[in-house]
Structure 1
Amino acid sequence: MALTVRKASETDIEMIAQALLESSRAGKRVGLFDLVFNTSDEEALLGHLKRLALTSTKSYCHFSNFFVAVSGNQNAGVICGYEPRIATHEIFSKALEEIGFDESYHERIAAYLLCEGEVDNKTYVLDFLYVKPEFKTVDVYKELIGKSMLTARLKGYRKVQTSIEIGSAETEMIYKKLGFGVIDEKRSEYYKEQFGRAGIMRLQLSL
């Protein structure tokens, strides 16, 4: 079946919300958005994430930052690509405020903030990679990541970076197959206690 990758639209919001939730949990019981929204109720979380992806404030979770892989007439997977100099943490907080959530979430995600790497403004960031189980092939991942990297080049970026949890072996293997290399990792007992993983690693590719 032929595979194409296109820019996401508002009609893809269901899958984008699912991608935000699933990729942040990465097989764990609790993910980042469980803490941001202070609930683990999946229906409530998906509702919040759909609204977050549709705010007038364009945070890194906004649908306009996503690409969708399509196989036949079905959406197979999505990936987010954004410019950190534009989609800052302040913009994320503003988008949350737009849907009724204040900055108290900072306290709940303190363990994450301890392990989060700093990204310079000359780097393009990939995040929230999600492929439906029935479409999980190297080709789908390759097309999604490849389209994102092409966009980064067209915007003038020469480095592309992503962050994954230490121990996310499948995702790490996919990025490494496409030429990404580990540039650093941050570990924290606090992170391990909260998420059950050692910390976060960053991978980078020069374009």
Structure 2
Amino acid sequence: MSIQIKQATAEDAAFLAQMMLQSSRAGKKDGLFDLIFKTNDEKILLEKLEQLAQTTAKSHCHYKNFLIAQVDGKSVGTLCSYEPRISTQETFITALQEIGCGDEVKEPLAIVYGCDFETNNRTLMFDFMEELEGFIDVGILKALMKKSLLTARLKGYRIAQTIIEIGSLETELFYKKLGFREVAQRECEAYKEIFGRNGLMLFSIEF
């Protein structure tokens, strides 16, 4: 099976929306976007996320941050890599406001950000590493990561990090297989109350 990796374009926004929603839920009933947009209706959520991928404000959800894996011309996986100095928390709020969100988004974001880690501007961040069902364990995510790390090195980065939920065992094992190691963990009562997970873990890789 041949895997092609390409840079996402605005035309890929619908697929990116699907992967972002899948990643944010990660086996939970509600993910961050369910709370931000105050609905579990997938049609509405996918429309909102498709818009979010194309805002003027370049948040971490912007399509330009994504690589897409394709098999036989079909999009099957994604990996987002973003620079924290550009895609800041403030940029994310600006992007959400751009698609019609008001101050109500600040409450769920405060819970997530309250459990977050200090990011270093010299570090590249990874997010939304996802693949379609039926393509698991065939090398999709490994190919995406390999390409992302190569691009990061060309940009001058030597450290990449990702944040995952405590208890996301499959995701944790996969990152460890790729060479990441846990460098910090933060348990948060408010996060557990809303998402049912104890908090977040920070993983890092030097390359």
TM-score, normalised relative to structure 1: 0.96
Pairing of 1:23-42 with structure 2 (within 5 A): 23-42=23-42
Partner residue of 1:129? 129
Partner residue of 1:197? 197
Pairing of 1:160-171 with structure 2 (within 5 A): 160-171=160-171
Where structure 2 has 5 or more consecutive residues not aligned to the other structure, the ranges are: none
Where structure 1 has 5 or more consecutive residues not aligned to the other structure, the ranges are: none
Partner residue of 2:102? 102
**C-alpha distance in 2, partners of 1:86/1:112?**
19
The alignment yields a C-alpha RMSD, in angstroms, of 1.1
Aligned residues between the structures: 207
The letter of the residue matching 1:58 is K
Q: Is the 8 A contact 1:93 1:102 kept in 2?
A: no
The letter of the residue matching 1:177 is K
The letter of the residue matching 2:185 is E
Partner residue of 1:89? 89
Partner residue of 1:45? 45
Q: Is the 8 A contact 1:35 1:109 kept in 2?
A: no
Identity of aligned residues (%): 47
**C-alpha distance in 1, partners of 2:146/2:65?**
15
**C-alpha distance in 1, partners of 2:134/2:7?**
21
CA change 1:169–1:190 in 2 (3 A) is: same
**C-alpha distance in 1, partners of 2:205/2:144?**
15
**C-alpha distance in 2, partners of 1:138/1:82?**
25
**C-alpha distance in 2, partners of 1:108/1:177?**
32
CA change 1:153–1:59 in 2 (3 A) is: same
Q: Secondary structure of the equivalent of 2:103?
A: coil
Q: Is the 8 A contact 1:81 1:124 kept in 2?
A: yes
Question: Is 1:180 aligned to residue 185 of structure 2?
Answer: no
The letter of the residue matching 2:176 is K
CA deviations on 1:33-83 (whole Å, 9 max, x unpaired) are 111112221111111000010112211101111000011121110010000
Q: Secondary structure of the equivalent of 1:203?
A: strand
